Amino acid sequence: MKEEHPVGTVVWRDLTIENADIIRDFYGEVVGWKHEPCDMGGYDDYNMIPPKGGDPAVGICHARGPNGNLPAQWLLYVAVEDIDSSIRRAVELGGHLVDGPRKMGKSRFCVIEDPAGAVMALISE
């Protein structure tokens, strides 16, 4: 990962749900986030911006296309050195691969489930 995202740190957070527009507006009212559309080719997902501006705090995404398999919960993306070896190790330790690995920009990511049933995204360049 890039130096600004050291291995083992949370890189991003997002929520993938059936109707991102409704949930986007819900969190806009509840926590004051503004939104910026992110073109997904036929529909928009959203980067949610803090009330006073700045970098996006989280993403809110539609459960469509390649994101159709993602669970409807807040998902943390954690930087790892090597996606493939992290997937292998997760499976060896009783977890399983939920989605991916696949490309996202210049990075690759996947979603794993740990033996307790909690999910996390892993991401690397």
Reported pTM: 0.87
Query: What DSSP element (H or E) covers 23?
Result: helix 20-31
Predicted local confidence at residue 104, as pLDDT: 87
**Measuring CA to CA, which residue among 62, 37, 61, 35 is closest to residue 49?**
35
Query: 26 and 8 share a domain?
Result: no
Segment 56-64 mean pLDDT: 96
Instruction: Find the CATH number of the domain harbouring 92.
Output: 3.10.180.10
Beta strands in the chain (DSSP E): 10-17, 34-39, 44-49, 58-62, 74-79, 96-104, 107-113, 119-124
Our count of domains for the chain comes to 2
pLDDT digits (tens, 9 = 90+) for 74-101: 999 999 999 999 999 999 999 999 999 9
Of 62, 77, 93, which residue constitutes the final position of a domain? 62
Q: Are residues 35 and 85 in the same domain?
A: no
Residue 30, domain extent: 19-62
Whether 89 and 112 map to the same domain: the answer is: yes
| pLDDT of 29 over the 50 cut | yes
